[in-house]
Amino acid sequence: MTVDDSGSGEDAQGADSGEDPLALRLEGLILGAERRYTPFQAARSAGVSMELASRFWRAMGFADIGQAKALTEADVLALRRLAGLVEAGLLSEAMAVQVARSTGQTTARLAEWQIDSFLEGLTEPPEPGMTRTEVTYPIVELLLPELEEFLVYVWRRQLAASAGRVVQAADDEEMVDRRLAVGFADLVGFTRLTRRMEEEELGELVEAFETTAADLVAANGGRLIKTLGDEVLYAADDAGVAAEIALRLIETMAHDETMPELRVGMAFGTVTTRMGDVFGTTVNLASRLTSIAPKDAVLVDTAFAEELIRTQDAPSSEAEAAEEAAAAEKEGEEPPTYRFALQPMWQRPVRGLGVVEPWLLTRRDGG
Specify the pLDDT at position 122.
64
Instruction: Give the pLDDT score at 63.
Output: 83
- Give the residue from 61, 64, 36 showing the smallest Cα distance to 50: 64
Cβ neighbourhood burial of 85 (10 Å; 0-12, 13-18, 19+):
middle
- The answer to whether the CB of 340 falls within 8 A of the CB of 314 is yes
Q: Is the pTM of this model over 0.75?
A: no
Query: CA–CA separation, 283 vs 88, rounded Å?
Result: 37
Q: Vertex 242, ends 356 and 361: CA angle to 5°? A: 50
Please list the pLDDT of the chain residue by residue as tens digits (367 residues). Answer: 444 444 433 344 444 446 777 778 888 888 888 899 999 999 999 999 999 999 999 889 888 888 888 999 999 999 999 999 999 999 999 889 888 988 888 888 888 877 776 666 666 666 676 676 677 788 888 888 998 999 999 989 988 887 876 676 555 555 556 789 999 999 988 777 777 777 777 878 888 888 899 999 999 999 999 888 789 999 999 999 999 999 999 999 988 888 888 999 999 999 988 777 888 999 999 999 999 999 999 999 999 999 999 999 999 888 888 887 788 778 778 877 889 999 999 888 777 788 888 999 999 875 4
Cα first-last separation, the chain? 59
SS3 content of the chain, % helix, strand, coil (to 5): 55, 15, 30
